[in-house]
Structure 1
Amino acid sequence: MSAHAPTGSAGRKRPFGVTLLSLLMGWLTLAAALNSVVFPSQIEGWPVVITVLTVAYAVTAGATTIGLWRMRSWSLTTFSSWGVVLLLLMAAFLFFIDFWTIIGMQPLVAGPHFVIFTVTMVLVYWLLHRYIRRHVVGLR
């Protein structure tokens, strides 16, 4: 199927950006699914809550992949759900993992970097949400 072939019941064409975003979400689905199996089996004491959130991440990213590929309006809801799970997963990493040791920085030094990273992620998420809303759902 071509990236611009008609899809869905309305016969709308999938924009190239939606195709790229769908492929990206598919890649994230695969990565999260593998991480949910590999990390708990390789790292002793891996927190169960992070594994559960990683599975939720894979499920929401996978649903978003399918919704975007098929140009379904519900893909905006699954994308929003994925964003919530992403933020919860980030918070869980900070709470359950010795995050600062892993990245090799003390909290006061790493804090500003983490804030900048989080703000950037939220901005990118917001722009993608807007893009899906306009090009898949058809809302302005």
Structure 2
Amino acid sequence: MKRPTGFTVISLILGWFAIGAFANGAMQLNAEHGSKIMAILAFSYGVTALASTVGLWKFKKWAYHSFLVWSLIVVATMLNLQFGMYGMYRAPFIAFLGFSVFILALLTFAVLYIKKNLTNTTQTS
């Protein structure tokens, strides 16, 4: 079955996100003001983004689960940046709330899109 165009777009975006996440994780480990929690989140973000990239690119059924885990790490990272990190990145609450609603809507749309397209195939992983 041909890979949907949306999977190609999401895969390319997630691939770039993975590269950025690994760089961010490395900087968090070496920075004077780095955070071990943020480094763990960044590396987890990178690993799950990379797994999702490969799974979506190859149209594997497990890509749905890796994307779902990546989405949860995105939410955990947002919460850590807002409420953790010693307040270094804290946004006004209304801005954080608006941004969170927007990101959650995007993630929900993407998760449903991936699930719908992966369940329409007979390919097994």
TM-score scaled to structure 2, two decimals?
A: 0.88
Q: Counterpart of 1:136 in structure 2: which amino acid?
A: L
Shift of 1:102: 4.1
- Residue in 2 aligned with 1:122? 104
TM-score under structure 1 normalisation? 0.79
Cα-Cα RMSD: 1.7
CA distance in 2, matches of 1:58, 1:118: 20
* Aligned-pair CA distance for 1:85: 1.0
Write out per-residue CA displacement over residues 96-121 of structure 1, whole angstroms, 9 at most, x where no aligned residue: 3244x546x6xxxx111100000000
How many percent of aligned residue pairs carry the same amino acid?
Answer: 26
Which of these two proteins has the greater Rg computed from alpha carbons? 1
1:33-85 CA-to-partner distances (Å, cap 9, x unmatched) read 1110123323x132211111111111111100000000011100001100111
Q: 1:112 to 1:95 in 2, by over 3 A?
A: closer
CA distance in 2 between counterparts of 1:85 and 1:114 reads 17
2:18 paired residue number: 29
Is 2:64–2:115's contact at 8 Å kept on the other side of the alignment? yes
CA distance in 1, matches of 2:107, 2:89: 25
Alpha-carbon separation, structure 2, partners of 1:38 and 1:137: 39
Aligned length: 121
Q: Secondary structure at the match of 2:21?
A: helix
Distance 2:45 2:3 in 1: 24
Q: Distance in 1 between matches of 2:102 and 2:110?
A: 12
* Cα drift, residue 86 of structure 1: 1.1
Amino acid at match of 1:86: V
Which runs of no fewer than 5 residues in structure 2 stay unpaired? Answer: none
- Structure 1 runs not aligned, ≥5 long: 1-11
